[in-house]
Amino acid sequence: MRFRFPQFKFIRGLAFRYSLFFLVAIMIILFFPLVIGYGFSSILLLEKAKNEATILTKQTVAQFENVLQPTELVPQTLVQAMENPNISYAEVLRIARDFIIHDPYVFGTCLAFEPYLFNRDQYWYAPYAFEKNGKLQIRVLGSGEYDYFKMDWYRLPKLLNKPVWTEPYYDEGGGDTLMCTYSTPIYRKINGQRTFTGVLTMDVSLSGFAHIVNSINIFKTGYGFLVSRQGKIITSPKTVMNNLNIIDLAIAGRGIKTQIAIRQMLKGKSEIKDMDGIESKKNPSFLSFAPVSNTGWSFGIVFPKEELFDDLYTFLKFMSWMFGISILVLLVTTIFITRRMTRPIVRLVETTHKIGQGDFNAKLPIRKSRDEVAQLTRAFGVMQDELRSYIHNLEETTTAKEKIESELQVAHNIQMGMLPRGFKTPENWDLFATLDPAKAVGGDLYDFFYLDDDHLCIAIGDVAGKGVPASLFMMVTRTLLRAKATAKLPLNQLMSSLNDELCKENPNEMFVTFFAGIVDLTSGVMEFCNAGHNYPYILHENGKLDQLKIRNGLPLGIFANSTYTTTTYSFNPCEILVMTTDGITDALNMANNFFGEAHLASFLTSLAKKDTKSLTELLIAEVKRFSTGTEQADDITILALQYKDLLRKTNQPMQTYHLTLLNQVTELESLEAKIEELAELWQIPAKVVMEINLVLEELFTNMVFYGYNDHEPHLIKIEFHFIDEHQIQLRLEDDGKPFNLLEKNTGNVIDQPLSERQIGGLGIHFVKEMMNKIEYQRLGNNNIILLTKIF
């Protein structure tokens, strides 16, 4: 029910009318002009400060250039003069010494020579003149401790073939002070060729630059600093920053704007940039910077923003206080006037709070007038009656829902109870399965049971849909499977019969993808039928993963009278058959990405050494981790079956040898040599060795001559397994054309005339006669033949 209220004349009374008028008036008179004035003042102050900082930056850079220009010009001139063989090194060194005496910024000069060039008996020779304590001192540099050939001031001009400024460094053993060096390469003609002979340097002490930088005065705490090409701080009035790298300081302060400004500065740009602090982000500043010509250095001036607007902030604080006091006075007056007028609404609010807390019998205040508060009170009375009725209906609905949930829980327990429990597998097998429904009940199923002492039936399925209908269809499928299996029908007939039964009286047109297999527990051979289900995985002991990519028919329940075929697979020791439903691959994460086949295959590979229970539990945990934060959308079912290797468990290791041959007849010699080697090692009787030799030679030559359509090289893999002293197993694998020797009829080949015999028929006849057991399967693109010889 909706309620319409007339315009609230009472609430729009005198108090609110006057309070609204005064608030709007004060905002217009005080606040708006204040904001406009503040904005214009900020812009003007900012532009003025930027102009002053830019001018000061350029002036300081000019000072640096005036200091450095003679420092660069003198060694360049002297080096050019030294190319004249009539100019002696002593004369050059004397002129350089005179220069450092008269130039207050140049600390020292050095004339360093290549090994044995100045004196054939001296590897190092570098006379160094420098000023210390007002006196000129001379020192010859060069030793094992001071190997100037490895130092930047000597190495860089030689490599670059041009004068360079070095990074700031402490010249221990030389000038013993912090300095930067301008190094100029020296060339002279030796034997008619222009040859590098050494370096002439001019050292500039950083204390001279410090005087210029320390004289910078901008605002209260603004300061300047000089950095090298690589970002090393040459000098700054903040001594803690000296010799540090400006990039490291910017990164340590975690300021993005600062890092951008520093990068532009080191690129040699000339501009002014915003910063969010150098040492920390708590000190927003401006940085004005410009490059120092020819050196790769840059000079910058930093000044905090807050100092720029100090006077403006003081004025703004004063006006804010005045504005706040005015608003406070107005609010106190308004509250005092309106308090008496709003008392009836307060009482109504107190009652509605009680109703909101569940007291639907709370008594509303009585008001006899016809104003808006009285109309609101009557409307709350109607709402109170409707809420009381709604809560009563909600309680009944909740009770019914709880009953349904209880029944679903019972159905869940029944469904889970129908799954096999307490199953004891033979000693040489390991089996584990689990089902995790997306709802209380689900449509996935698995089952396993004995057909007799030597045969185990395993099955897994996924009903299309979820919830109660799918769970009922699942229970019917499982019941029919067990009923049909007891009749000991061939597996293909069993699947056809199961399909026909499910197609009957199926108005909802439900169906189930289904995989069923019958495992011979003694031989390790499984006959299976895949009716549209996910391809199972075969996990080998070495971590290799294969899939049985075979479909033997449509899902059960779609079309009656459908036919189904079967396929066989022979387990190798320690292999694990892993069967799943699409609840794993279709699991979604928070980014709406599927778990997928690739993720499943990759994770299974990491579980090669696990038993079936650990494999299943770890896979379930990985799916849960992947889909954390999302609701499970589909049932998850896993069944894992492992053919154990009993010989290893009894500390009697099965001896296995591998041989890989090319599809060439000449490889027969290698095959025969391996057979003889293993016959001696395993002490195999001569008659058995001869039979094995004949069988492998026959199969190998068939593969070479008839197995391939091309003339490319292919690999044929042969494995020799010594089971025990009376049994040997041979495994051959090639990627040739499909060929099942078991399907080739050789029954009367001996009695046929020679002209009527098919090529290869007699050889295959001998293979079947000499071997006790032969198995064949096509796995992917490969033929696999498993031979067993008992003697």
Q: What is the mean pLDDT of the chain?
A: 81
Quick: pLDDT tens for 458-468.
999 999 877 77
The CA distance from 491 to 515, in Å, is 11
What average pLDDT score do residues 553-582 get? 91
Q: Read off the pLDDT of each residue in 613-640 and give the average, rounded to a whole number.
A: 91
DSSP-derived letter for residue 31 is: I
User: How far is the C-alpha of 233 from the C-alpha of 253, rounded, in Å?
Assistant: 16
pLDDT band of residue 1 (cuts 50, 70, 90) is very low
**How many residues in total does the chain contain?**
791
- Supply the pLDDT for residue 199: 94
User: What's the average model confidence in pLDDT over 135-146?
Assistant: 86
* Domains, the chain, with CATH or none: 83-205 (3.30.450.20), 328-415 (1.10.287.130), 419-643 (3.60.40.10), 655-790 (3.30.565.10)
Q: Higher model confidence: residue 148 or residue 439?
A: 148
Higher pLDDT, 89 or 164: 164
**Which of 86-100, 280-294, 387-401, 694-708 comes out lowest in average pLDDT?**
387-401
Q: What is the mean pLDDT of residues 288-299?
A: 86
CA 275 – CA 261 distance, rounded (Å) = 7
pLDDT band at 360 (very low <50, low <70, confident <90, very high): low
Please check the confidence at residue 317 and state whether its pLDDT lies above 90: no
Furthest CA-CA distance within the chain:
127
Q: What average pLDDT does this structure show over 148-164?
A: 92
Higher pLDDT, 627 or 28: 627
Of 719, 724, 688, the closest CA to residue 786 belongs to: 719
- The backbone torsions φ and ψ at residue 356, rounded to the nearest 5 degrees and listed phi first, read -65, -25
Determine the pLDDT at residue 655. 77
Q: How many CB atoms lie within 10 A of CB 712?
A: 7
Are the C-beta atoms of residues 618 and 537 closer than 8 Å to each other? no
Assess whether pLDDT exceeds 90 at residue 72.
no
Residue 323: pLDDT over 90? no
Mean pLDDT check: name the lowest of 321-330, 389-398, 405-414, 557-566.
Answer: 405-414
> What pLDDT, on the 0 to 100 scale, is given for residue 196?
92
What is the mean pLDDT of the segment spanning 501-529? 89
Supply φ then ψ for residue 390, to 5 degrees.
-65, -40
> Does position 14 have pLDDT exceeding 80, yes or no?
no
Q: For residue 26, what pLDDT is reported? A: 63
Structure pTM? 0.41
pLDDT value at residue 162? 92
- 146 — phi, psi (to 5°)? -120, 75
Check whether 357 has a pLDDT greater than 90.
Answer: no
Question: Within 10 Å of residue 398's Cβ, how many Cβ atoms?
Answer: 10
Contacts of 164 (CB under 8 A, 6+ apart): 156, 157, 182, 183
Task: Tell me the C-alpha distance between 450 and 431, whole Å.
Answer: 13
The CA distance from 224 to 247, in Å, is 16
pLDDT of residue 535 exceeding 90, the answer is: yes
Using 50, 70 and 90 to split pLDDT, how confident is the model at 579?
Answer: very high
Between CA 553 and CA 536 the distance in angstroms is 15
Share of residues in the chain with pLDDT > 70 (%): 80
pLDDT tens figures, 227-251: 888 888 888 887 767 778 888 877 7
- Residue whose tokens read 């109870």: 417
Cα(356)–Cα(600) distance, rounded to whole angstroms?
A: 52
> What pLDDT, on a 0 to 100 scale, did the predictor assign at position 237?
83
pLDDT in tens, 463-483: 987 777 887 888 889 889 988
So what's the pLDDT on residue 651? 43
Residue type, 340: R
Q: What does the alpha-carbon distance between residue 515 and residue 766 come to, in Å, rounded to a whole number?
A: 37
Q: Which of 248, 313, 234 is nearest to 278 (CA)?
A: 248
User: What average pLDDT score do residues 175-185 get?
Assistant: 87
- CA separation for the pair 697, 764 (Å, rounded): 11
Q: Is the confidence at residue 46, as pLDDT, over 90? A: no
For residue 199, give Cα distances in angstroms to 154, 194, 292, 675, 787.
Answer: 6, 15, 23, 76, 82
